[in-house]
Amino acid sequence: MRAWLACTGQELRAVAPEDLAAKLAVTQSRRFRGVEPEQIDSWTASLRSLRQAVMHPGGEHWHVLLEYDLLRLERRIDAVLLTDRAILVLEFKHGARSFHAEDLRQTEDYALDLRDFHAGSRAHPIVPVLVATHAPPPRNDWPLPLPGVTPVLRASATTLPDLVAQAQQHFMITTPPLDGEAWADAAYRPVPGIIDAARLMFARHGVEDIAAARADTANLTRTTAAIRHAVAEAREAGRRYVVFVTGIPGAGKTLCGLNVVFGEDETNAAFLTGNAPLVAVLREALARDARASQGRRQPARQGRGFLQNVHRFLEAHAGNAAPPPEHLVVFDEAQRAWDAAQATRDTQRRQSVLSVSEPAHMLEIMSRLPGWAVIVALVGNGQEINTGEAGLAEWGRVIAASGGAWQAVAAPRVLDATEPAQQLARSPAPPWLKLEPALDLTVPIRSVRDTAGAAWVDAVLSDRPAAAVEIAASADLPFYVTRDLAAARAALRRMARGLRRAGLVCSSGARRLRADGLGHVLHGPDEAVRWFLDRWPDVRASDALEVCATEYACQGLELDLVGLAWGGDFIRSGAGWQARAFAGTRWNLVQKEEEKLFIRNTYRVLMTRGRYETVLWVPPGEDADRTRPATEFDAIAAHLLACGARPLEMWRDEAAPALPPLLL
């Protein structure tokens, strides 16, 4: 039972609200330090209003759940009222005399959460209700759109019973009728975004609790179990392992890595990434949680220890012979580790202290530790986006050269990659490599509504339109195309219901988007923190829809709703996709195959950032400007639509969308 207190309408009629509030107080005292008298008074007042609501004819058979736990940042719904025909999600603001926008968004978000992740909620209308107990009688708009989550209704303590009665008249009994007991026992499996997931795992909820709302959950838990098994084996036998976790975009590699790190002692493990925005955003998210938790500072301190920049880690340890404190490190995006040429190159920002490739330095540094050591290497297939990236081949070379000091564990995928740079070794597997199929994540969990998005994106970008059409025909793809930037922004704002976050992304090479008014992109970790964590009306936040995040700012992170601004660096030609780079006043064709791959992968990263809908805005172009002729963008839009993306006009302005059933 996820609720602190559950009862039928009959039981609520028969028991004094004060007695039920006392039961809630006992539950809270067991979970937390204590109960304030004001909280008991609030529960008592809520129960009195609910008691009047269940006096409706037939209300004795309804079910009431108090403090329903959502397991998302330990959020709880104040009350869920289950009638025979609707799910009412109730948020009480005691003493409030008006309805604040933030409270309305919170209430709606609770209802959306149930719709997307609670198995018993999909077949019934969900009605979010904000109860400002001392507000004047509010006005609500009827009839309500159906099906799914309605707009948030408003009530006061005195008008709540009438609102419930009106809802009963408004909704027909579903077939089968809503069964309160079955609903309470139904599976609730949330899929939080990476920022929320880090917060949850830091609070010691494992990845097993952060399950996918689909049957592929086992894929994620099997991989986590395989990593833990390798770590335990290394610890017990005093061995040194590199554990490679491969997977398609959005399959949960970062979740697995964070889960392993947060499950260890702070001085024993670290999550290393070259993605400075990812480090900054996750650290700040944990620090804000600490500040919000009554001044407790421990999580913020630990967040800084767990999350480190991989380049700074290597530079700090390369110049001395001391062993690092961590026996376990997770190397995020390991295929992007620098080769020797990039690692040893001096730049205007830094003077390199490295002498070999980053994989070689990592193995040497971790070899200093007495006993065991484990490097968990997270490998994002098809996400190489920059020059100087060594690929898996360099990891394989340095492991083989260790003379047996290091061994590797990986899925068979590492032997048969089509690109030689992404082959850890050639088949058959060498003696230093143990194959473990569970280390390959093949099912995306980022996309809440459909698992086919990543495969469709791959088909589109790989110039396989027939395959893309086939995928689109059998899936509810959340990709929409528009040529109107204002329409894209308006749709994203309508899509971003509740507390969901929208934002614009673009390629770093899309240099001519400034002609359409999108000239500013994120610069540096500080801007990324504000973009990902702050909210409108802060104009620096993502949902202001003014500043674009590039592939460097958003790789490893994600948004609920994404607006992708297509640039002139990746266009259609007679031979398929054509990669270009802008210099001076003109576009130049990219000739090197490696650089073409980087640009294609840039769009793969950008097209797979969204958890819900993705709006693909293709600029109209301007024939008078030779850097952005309309015909080039017309061809891009035509190709996306021909591959199965939908015109934005087909998106239904949802009070609640019709969604496919949960596959549990």
pLDDT, tens digit (0-9, with 9 covering 90-100), for 523-563: 889 999 999 999 999 999 999 999 999 999 998 889 999 99
pLDDT tens profile 185-244: 998 877 778 888 787 777 655 555 554 434 345 577 889 899 999 999 999 999 999 999
Q: Which residue intervals of the chain bear CATH 3.40.50.300? A: 194-441
Give the torsion through C-alpha atoms of 641, 642, 644, 649, to 10 deg: 30
Provide mean pLDDT across the span 321-334.
93
Confidence category of residue 646, pLDDT binned at 50, 70, 90 = very high
ω into 420 cis (within 30 of 0)? no
Q: Which CATH number fits domain 194-441: 3.40.50.300, 3.60.10.10, 3.40.50.1000, 3.30.40.230?
A: 3.40.50.300
How confident is the model at residue 579, as a pLDDT?
A: 97
How confident is the model at residue 1, as a pLDDT?
A: 52
How confident is the model at residue 301, as a pLDDT?
A: 43
Confidence category of residue 575, pLDDT binned at 50, 70, 90 = confident
DSSP structural state of residue 419: S
Query: Looking at the predicted structure, is the pLDDT value of residue 6 above 50?
Result: yes
What is Dmax (Cα atoms) for the chain?
79
How confident is the model at residue 206, as a pLDDT?
A: 52
CA distance 394 to 399: 9
How confident is the model at residue 18, as a pLDDT?
A: 95
SS3 for 106-165 is HHHHHHHHHHHHECCCCCCCEEEEEEECCCCCCCCCCCCCCCCECCCEEECCCCHHHHHH
Query: Looking at the predicted structure, is the pLDDT value of residue 146 above 80?
Result: no
Q: Which CATH number fits domain 453-650: 1.10.20, 3.30.1460, 3.30.70, 3.40.50?
A: 3.40.50
> What is the percent of the chain where pLDDT is above 90?
66
Q: Name residue 573's beta-bridge partners.
A: 576
- Of 532, 446, 526, 551, the closest CA to residue 195 belongs to 532
